[in-house]
């Protein structure tokens, strides 16, 4: 009970800090804290493999990618120019409506009759023991025996992403601009924005 509220407070505070931090690198640090607390929550919920994946994939790969991109952009020719943050009216109103609907649904679900567990054949044991719900063996059997096709589709998605990133940002791309072409593109962008009356 008490650990849940401590971890929940850490999750919410670090999420708020991520969203409100002035510099992107502070957002990355607080997001790291958020992911670590979330991995702890996954351990409480008997999702051992996902807790490890959370640390390795999110904290190890995705956040490092963010750090490298921030370093790359900040050490470039010009600093990142940013306008003022503001709240667009229509999306904010839609989001507020969605939040109200979500809370109403949650309250309705709170008063629904208790859920009957439908798969009790998988017993619950201490974290780390084999052949119990949520252990790595259990997860691996479910992933590779009964849900192999989504796993293979995942491999295809990752391959497409790698090809796309190489085409977008690799040096072989024919449209990677030199500094002169970047200047031309910047002028064209400015003129296009001016033509739009923006």
Partner 1 sequence: MATSFSGVPIFDYEALASVLFFIGLAGAIARRNPLVMLMSIELMFNAANLAFIVFSRAWLNNAGQIFAFLVITVAAAEAAIALAIVVVVFRSAQQVDVDDVRVLHG
Q: Nearer Cβ to partner 1, position 77 or 172?
A: 77
**Which residue is associated with the tokens 């992911």?**
35
Size of the site for partner 1 (CB under 8 A): 100
Site for partner 1 in 16-75 (CB under 8 A): 16, 18-21, 24, 27-28, 31, 34-35, 38, 41-42, 44-47, 49-50, 53-54, 57-58, 61-62, 65-66, 69-70, 72-73
Residue 82 binding partner 1, by CB under 8 A: yes
By CB under 8 A, the residues from 132 to 191 that bind partner 1 are 133-134, 138-139, 142-143, 147, 150, 154, 157-158, 160-162, 164-165, 168-169, 175-177, 181-182, 185-186, 188-189
- Least gap, CB of 88 to partner 1 (angstroms): 7
- Considering only 108, 119, 149, 172, the residue that binds partner 1 (CB under 8 A) is 119
Nearest distance from C-beta of residue 115 to partner 1, angstroms: 5
Token pair of 105 as six digits: 């649904």
Q: Which two tokens stand for residue 14?
A: 């670090």
For partner 1, which residue of 6, 75, 115, 137 counts as binding (CB under 8 A)? 115
Closer residue to partner 1, CB minimum distance, 84 or 172: 84
């Amino acid at each position: 009970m008490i650990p849940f509220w401590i971890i929940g407070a850490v999750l919410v505070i670090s999420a708020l800090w991520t969203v409100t931090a002035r510099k992107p690198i502070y957002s990355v640090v607080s997001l790291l804290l958020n992911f670590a607390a979330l991995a702890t929550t996954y351990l409480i919920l008997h999702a051992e493999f996902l807790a490890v994946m959370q640390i390795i994939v999110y904290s190890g790969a995705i956040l490092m990618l963010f750090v490298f991109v921030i370093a790359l952009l900040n050490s470039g020719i010009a600093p990142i120019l940013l306008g003022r943050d503001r709240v667009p009216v229509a999306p904010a109103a839609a989001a507020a409506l969605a939040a109200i609907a979500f809370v109403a649904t949650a309250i309705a679900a709170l008063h629904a009759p208790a859920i009957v567990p439908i798969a009790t054949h998988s017993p619950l044991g201490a974290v780390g023991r084999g052949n119990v719900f949520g252990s790595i063996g259990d997860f691996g059997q479910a992933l590779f025996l009964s849900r192999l096709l989504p796993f293979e589709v995942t491999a295809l998605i990752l391959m497409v992403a790698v090809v796309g990133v190489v085409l977008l940002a690799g040096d072989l791309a024919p449209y990677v601009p030199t500094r002169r072409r970047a200047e031309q593109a910047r002028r064209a962008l400015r003129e296009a924005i001016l033509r739009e009356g923006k």
